[in-house]
Amino acid sequence: MSAMPSHAMVFAAGLGTRMRPLTNDRPKALVEVDGRCLVDHMLDRLAEAGVGTAVVNSFHFAEKLVAHLTPRGKAKPSLIFSREDALPEPLETEGGLVYALQHFPDGPLFTCNADAIWLDETAIKRMAEAFDPNRMDGLLLLARLDEALGFDGPGDFFMDGAGRLTRRGEAASAPYAYAGVQITTRAKFEGKTATKRSLARTWFDDWSPQGRLYGLVLDGPWLHVGDPQAREDAEAKLQALRASTQA
């Protein structure tokens, strides 16, 4: 069992093109769902789990993101900003992690998308407990397709009895979608160049074929907030769930 990683990377540098017009004047991470910005939903989950530091990258309306987050002050997690707005374009997820790698200590770390909301309060802690770097290059948080709101894809992964993941490939569908959080190690990215590249390329091309990509399934709904309609659906779902618990 691994200890809780001290650091997490929160990806907030995307252009948010599918979220327009809501992202015409702000980064996607500052779109509000149920009264809180997406990035705050993620940072609060990390704080609840005991993650001490979050590195947040920025590109699109970077100054607005920094201005919004700075008042969090000494609240956990403490924040480090990885500014990509001086670059010609954002680096995507792996490139953004490599660009910010200097801010991470040796050992395990989380990578997190800013557009994922869920209610499972144990998910991040369970990931830390399950992660075994001797067997795993990466451990991904997964959502069952029937529990995924705002996701209309055919699924990303199959999972065997040991938790190893293989990509959907040419299959018509797969039962699990990536739910936006990964645990991996700094060592897997040392020596790489910060070029535009998605983490998915490493999962599919390198780790999964070697049998070193694993998954852990989220308990309950996953709200993927990818466009304005998904934002409305997520807000309605959260309000309905809150009303049911108060009834």
Residue 95 has pLDDT above 90, yes or no: yes
The pLDDT score that the predictor gives to residue 72 is: 86
pLDDT grade for 50, boundaries at 50, 70 and 90: very high
Tell me which H or E stretch contains 37. Answer: strand 36-37
Omega before 21 cis (within 30°)?
Answer: yes
Q: Which helix (H) or strand (E) holds 234?
A: helix 228-246
In a domain, 1, yes or no: no
pLDDT at position 37 over 60: yes
Backbone angles phi, psi at 38, to 5 degrees: -55, -45
Contacts of 170 (CB under 8 A, 6+ apart): none
Whether 213 is in a domain gets the answer: yes
Model confidence at 152, pLDDT cuts 50, 70, 90, reads confident
Range of the domain at 85: 7-246
Distance CA 175, CA 196 (A): 29
In a domain? residue 205: yes
Residue in the block written with tokens 């660009």: 99
Provide the CA 105 distance to its chain's centre, in angstroms: 19
For the chain, how many structural domains are there in total? 1
pLDDT digit string, tens, across residues 163-192: 999 999 889 999 999 999 999 999 999 999
pLDDT the model gives residue 219:
94
Query: Tens of pLDDT along 57-73?
Result: 999 999 999 999 999 87
Amino acid at 31: V
**195 belongs to a structural domain:** yes
Does residue 112 lie in a domain region? Answer: yes
Residue 129, domain member (yes or no): yes
CATH number at 30 reads 3.90.550.10
Considering the domain boundaries, does residue 224 fall inside one? yes
Pull the structure tokens for residue 143.
Answer: 């959502």
- Contacts with 19 (C-beta within 8 Å, 6 or more apart), sequence order: 28, 31, 226, 227, 228, 231
2 domain residue, yes or no: no
The pLDDT score that the predictor gives to residue 169 is: 86
Rounded Cα distance between 208 and 46, Å, is: 26
Q: What was the pLDDT predicted at 2? A: 66
- As a whole-number percent, the residues of the chain with pLDDT over 90 amount to 83
In this predicted structure, the answer to whether residue 29 has a pLDDT above a threshold of 90 is yes
